[in-house]
Structure 1
Amino acid sequence: MAASSLSMSGAVAPTLGYDDYSLYSGLSEEEMIELAIERSLAEAHAAGAQSGSSKAPALQLRQNPVRQNPVRQNPSVRRTLPSRPQNTPPPANPPRENIPEKIVNIEGHFVTGNGKRMVRWRRYDGSLQVSPEPVEEADPLFHAIWEGNVGRVRELVKSSAKSMTEPYRDGWIALHEAAYYGQRECIEILLRAQPGMINKRSNKNQTPLLLAVSRCRVDCVELLLENGADPDIPNAAKETPILKACERENPEILAILLNHGAQVNKPCTQGWTALHECMCRGNVEICEMLLEAGAKINARNMYGISPLFTASQSGRVETLRFLIKNGADINTQANDGATALYEASKNGHEEIVELLLSQNADPNLATKAGLLPLHIAAQRGNDGQRLLSNMNYPYSSQSSVKIVSMLIPVTSKARVRRSGISPLHLAAERNKDEVLETLIEAGYDVNAMLSEDRSKMYEDRRSTALYFAVVNNNTDATEMLLDAGADPNLDTFSPLLVALRQGCIQTVTLLVEHGADVNAFVSTHPTSFPGTVMFCMKYLSLLKYLMDNGCDALSCFQCQYGSNPHPPLKMTRHRDNMDDIGEEPPKVPVQFCEMISADINSRWAGPIIDVLLDYVGNVQLCARLLEHLDSYEDWAVIKEKSEPPRPLMQLCRMKISGLLGRRRLKYMGTLPLPARLIKYLKHEERSRDDDF
């Protein structure tokens, strides 16, 4: 027995029980949807009648509901919905608002994969809705065609000739509908009655022939052509039936069209020909048919792309080999200068690259941007794989390495230098470590600089591959480049400053050990002290590391105002910001006391001064630094530490360090000095040591 539930009004509302499920379990999803729609509308009407009169009888549903939109691939096979047994309550219905009686604000129509007509519309609240398209207003002739009811079509054609040419949705007439749904017998009836509508166009310039081709209705295509259909009438996008046949990869329909004189080289709006479309699909049989029919093998679309270019871009090896065999230009360039080899390298098609190179494709033809196939191959890899995964492009970092390895021997290094950018830059920028290693092993200059034009494209005016690696915080690539001889002091903005700003001690150590200038300045932000100090005020361990390696701490205490009153601070932004690296530098250098007074640094003023005092002798703190030390009582010991005279041990340490020099301080551990002396110079004399 079916269960019942109490409605809000107190009446017993029917729900769908087990018996109903078993009754309709054999229905398709489409039929169940249509049944639910019909019953929803029926019960809504019944509810309205009951609200008007409590004594009104309940609305009885039809025992055998008829489908509202019977569209099928095979209309001859019809299915009758089973009747509901008596005394069984009707099934529950979906909310009425999902199936409006009248759809307004329609945005478009479409047909599902199983041929069901749907409409896309918006409610007044702006929400997007999708519903079955209402067909009550359609002419009975259309219903008969959708059902494949040939007898009914014949009767309606005899009774009214006007309905045959009366447009319905999107300007489709009855012949369009019959061609679209493959109703050959209906087409014959319609053409006998009105042969002049054979080439009738819809609102989108679609002919019945084009619709039949797009739906692969072979018998309908043949019938329409035999009755005089023009095979060269395009739709609104200038797509001809022959292009649609190639798109659907249907050689049978293509042969029929060619036998009826279809033009094989007619382009669409963007200059795309049937041969272009064939290259995307990789169908050699269709490609051969088109060439035999006179297709231009080097035809170019509006972007200058040829069929060979398309085959390389899509990774279609067999069709590409077929085109090359038939004399296609292997070095043709698109409007942007890209070649087939460039596109194959870009999309990671190893086999295509190998084939093109074996056929003497030129690897030194550059795009208008100056990039060679080697450049784009070095740039693409794992990122390309994620980007192209939906297009089934088998790009991986390993394929990138293989393609780069194939291109290196045939690419001119002089041509690479003339481009103003090295493949090393692109590999480092995209974190392609394996490609970077391959290029280094091939002898590419790790100190190659970006051309001025390319460097200006970056706000920080970067120039070297090392800078790209440091910006990406890629320590492996940084170490690889430094070990290969990369100079860390070539860029306008030192890579060491970038590493300090990121707070990466590993990268900072690598750069300093390979000769990075620990006293580097920021040209756009002149300061009276090293810029490296400015970028590590938040990281005291890094600040101490720089001081141990010869950073100039004395300049931090050389204030031009001294013990005199300081002018008010005028800084409107933090001076460790690199976003304005290209701005014009201020005329007056920033003092250390001004920098440490910034809100972001002032809380660390005491500890910063404490670290710096370990690397200077007798110094006089300016009025502003003393003001900072007086602001917190725990910093009183730091103020006492700064008062002259400094301890003799500190002065001796500074003297010895000065005699050793900055370079030797970096490699102090390798000098023939006693362990105690080394610890003393590193300010570690108070630490426990087993050698004492």
Structure 2
Amino acid sequence: MAEGERPRLLRLVQEGRLDLLQEELQPDATLGPGVQNQHYGRSGDTLLHYAARYGHRDVLAYLVEAMGMDIEVFNSDYKRPLHEAASMGHRECVSYLLERGASVDCLKKADWTPLMMACTRQNLEVIKALVEHGANPLLKNKDGWNCFHIASREGHPEVLQYLLEVSPGSWDTESTIKRTPLHTAAMHGCFDVVELLLERCQYKPDSRDKCGVTPFMDAIQNGHVDIARLLLEKHQACPTAVDALGAQPLHRAAVTAQDEAIQFLVSELGVDVNERVTTLQLTALHYAAKEGHVHTIQTLLGLGADVQAKDGKSRSVLHAACAGQQAAAARTLLHAGLRDTPDGSGVLAQQLARNPDVIQVFQEMDVSP
């Protein structure tokens, strides 16, 4: 078979056409070494990788047993066939490779094991097969995540419950930037997982990552108010805790335009809408203006935010909008009655404008100090 015809073999493997694959390969015994050593595309996958990825156990067995392919062959990312089968949730392929002696904790690029990849899916049978063959749940990848951390991100309570059974200490882990599974579950809105973690694990309230972010902050800045409530009720989270820069959840919610979360903090929890970041003396309104979140600006103003507020360098909210080149935000603030006054250095907000749309706003409204 000519070199240019080999992609046909790849297609047959992808489609699981074992009968046609055998017809292609059996007549010519010289094809064996070529099939074994052929890598396809930039990923460098072999036929064995494709068979495992698409879940064709019979093709996988034929390539291993009849064609002599190495079950530990790796691609450009050092990914083995076991990684492929585990990540796609193909239990029969996983079991076959393990029975043939595949290394259960082999590492691909960034130090991901097959068990970690299996935990990205809600396939408990594959995870059990790997653990029963000796997979170590406590291994960490390059980012410091173990499989428990990964399952927390994906929102799989039943997987987490199983991992706690076979490895009770797997919950007690932090990433390289000190983020816990509770941080990750709160950030991704996995309510059932957060509930499980609070019931079964012993995370400290308001644990902080390297940026000083707490799980409550993660929930708020991503708009997961239900999880924020749960953390308040079940974990004594502090709604006014500050991160490494001195920002509270209110400020982080303003950056990400989470209006419902802002309403919750101010109206229900009594957080001061004009609270300032301790290091820069910025208000939530400054952040919303800089990011150009017009609706959030209106929400904050409706809750009593001070449109005349200035930061530690006497820069107004309008300065923030113009520095961020946010025309719609500047227009909203000017309509709210904010004048273009100089900051502590005598710089007007309009002097910061480089965006023609922002400049036009000042021209249209004939603004002067």
Same fold (TM over 0.5): yes
Residue 400 in structure 1 maps to residue 268 in structure 2: no
Q: Which residue of 1 aligns with 2:282?
A: 421
Aligned-pair RMSD on alpha carbons?
4.0
State the 1:320 CA deviation: 0.9
Q: Which residue of 2 aligns with 1:365?
A: 241
Q: Which residue of 1 aligns with 2:354?
A: none
The one-letter amino acid paired with 1:187 is L
Write the deviation string for residues 590-628 of structure 1: whole angstroms up to 9, x where unpaired. Answer: xxxxxxxxxxxxxxxxxxxxxxxxxxxxxxxxxxxxxxx
* Structure of greater Rg: 1
Q: Which residue of 2 aligns with 1:149?
A: 19
Any unmatched runs of 5+ in structure 2? 323-328, 352-358
Alignment of 1:205-244 (within 5 A): 205-244=78-117
Is the Cα–Cα contact under 8 Å of residues 307 and 333 in structure 2 kept in the other structure? no
State the 1:148 CA deviation: 1.4
Q: 1:308/1:504 Cα in 2 relative to 1: closer, same or farther (>3 Å)?
A: same
Residue 306 in structure 1 maps to residue 174 in structure 2: no
Alignment of 1:22-37 (within 5 A): none
Q: 1:467/1:157 Cα in 2 relative to 1: closer, same or farther (>3 Å)?
A: same
Q: Distance in 1 between matches of 2:248 and 2:73?
A: 50
Write the deviation string for residues 450-473 of structure 1: whole angstroms up to 9, x where unpaired. Answer: 11xxx3xxxxx624x476689813
State the 1:271 CA deviation: 2.4
Secondary structure, counterpart of 1:472 in structure 2: helix
Q: Distance in 2 between matches of 1:490 and 1:417?
A: 23
Aligned with 2:189 (options 315, 320, 332): 315
Query: TM-score when scaled to structure 2?
Result: 0.75
Is the Cα–Cα contact under 8 Å of residues 378 and 427 in structure 1 kept in the other structure? yes
Residue 181 in structure 1 maps to residue 45 in structure 2: no
State the 1:491 CA deviation: 4.2
Write the deviation string for residues 171-216 of structure 1: whole angstroms up to 9, x where unpaired. Answer: 5445334323333233334444588823232332121211222332
Q: Distance in 2 between matches of 1:278 and 1:231?
A: 18
Q: Distance in 1 between matches of 2:70 and 2:27?
A: 14
Q: 1:377/1:156 Cα in 2 relative to 1: closer, same or farther (>3 Å)?
A: same
Is the Cα–Cα contact under 8 Å of residues 318 and 333 in structure 2 kept in the other structure? no
Using CA pairs below 8 Å that are at least 6 residues apart, which structure has the higher relative contact order?
A: 2
Q: Distance in 1 between matches of 2:79 and 2:220?
A: 39
Secondary structure, counterpart of 2:109 in structure 1: coil
Secondary structure, counterpart of 1:362 in structure 2: coil
Q: 1:135/1:408 Cα in 2 relative to 1: closer, same or farther (>3 Å)?
A: farther
Residue 472 in structure 1 maps to residue 369 in structure 2: no
Is the Cα–Cα contact under 8 Å of residues 303 and 334 in structure 1 kept in the other structure? yes
Aligned with 2:6 (options 110, 115, 138): 138
Q: 1:247/1:350 Cα in 2 relative to 1: closer, same or farther (>3 Å)?
A: same
Secondary structure, counterpart of 1:210 in structure 2: helix
The one-letter amino acid paired with 1:149 is D
Q: Distance in 1 between matches of 2:36 and 2:349?
A: 78
Alignment of 1:320-331 (within 5 A): 320-326=194-200, 327-331=202-206
Q: Which residue of 2 aligns with 1:337?
A: 212
Figure out how many residues of one structure are paired with residues of the other and give that number: 341
Write the deviation string for residues 216-251 of structure 1: whole angstroms up to 9, x where unpaired. Answer: 222111111122111211212322111211223222
Q: Distance in 2 between matches of 1:420 and 1:292?
A: 48
Is the Cα–Cα contact under 8 Å of residues 466 and 478 in structure 1 kept in the other structure? no
Write the deviation string for residues 133-184 of structure 1: whole angstroms up to 9, x where unpaired. Answer: x974429976764521289279839946545633332554453343233332
Q: Which residue of 1 aligns with 2:355?
A: none
Q: Distance in 1 between matches of 2:341 and 2:178?
A: 44
Identity percentage of aligned residues: 26
Residue 167 in structure 1 maps to residue 38 in structure 2: yes
Q: Which residue of 1 aligns with 2:125?
A: 252
Q: 1:502/1:229 Cα in 2 relative to 1: closer, same or farther (>3 Å)?
A: same
Q: Which residue of 2 aligns with 1:462?
A: 315
Q: 1:140/1:346 Cα in 2 relative to 1: closer, same or farther (>3 Å)?
A: closer
Structure whose residues are more often helix by fraction: 2
Is the Cα–Cα contact under 8 Å of residues 48 and 63 in structure 2 kept in the other structure? yes
Q: Distance in 2 between matches of 1:248 and 1:296?
A: 18
Q: Distance in 2 between matches of 1:185 and 1:468?
A: 63
Q: 1:328/1:196 Cα in 2 relative to 1: closer, same or farther (>3 Å)?
A: farther
Q: Distance in 2 between matches of 1:154 and 1:468?
A: 67
Is the Cα–Cα contact under 8 Å of residues 242 and 254 in structure 1 kept in the other structure? yes
Secondary structure, counterpart of 1:197 in structure 2: coil
Write the deviation string for residues 503-562 of structure 1: whole angstroms up to 9, x where unpaired. Answer: 526xx6xxxxxxxxxxxxxxxxxxxxxxx6xx8xxxxxxxxxxxxxxxxxxxxxxxxxxx
State the 1:309 CA deviation: 1.0
Any unmatched runs of 5+ in structure 1? 1-133, 382-394, 456-460, 483-487, 509-531, 536-692
Q: Distance in 2 between matches of 1:406 and 1:298?
A: 33
The one-letter amino acid paired with 2:106 is I
Aligned with 2:162 (options 265, 268, 289): 289
Write the deviation string for residues 471-516 of structure 1: whole angstroms up to 9, x where unpaired. Answer: 813257634x79xxxxx978444979989954526xx6xxxxxxxx
Aligned with 1:350 (options 213, 217, 225): 225
Q: Which residue of 1 aligns with 2:356?
A: none
State the 1:262 CA deviation: 0.9
Q: Distance in 2 between matches of 1:216 and 1:472?
A: 51
Write the deviation string for residues 31-70 of structure 1: whole angstroms up to 9, x where unpaired. Answer: xxxxxxxxxxxxxxxxxxxxxxxxxxxxxxxxxxxxxxxx
The one-letter amino acid paired with 1:405 is S
Is the Cα–Cα contact under 8 Å of residues 220 and 261 in structure 2 kept in the other structure? no
Is the Cα–Cα contact under 8 Å of residues 164 and 175 in structure 1 kept in the other structure? no
Is the Cα–Cα contact under 8 Å of residues 64 and 70 in structure 2 kept in the other structure? yes
Q: Distance in 1 between matches of 2:58 and 2:228?
A: 51
Query: TM-score when scaled to structure 1?
Result: 0.43
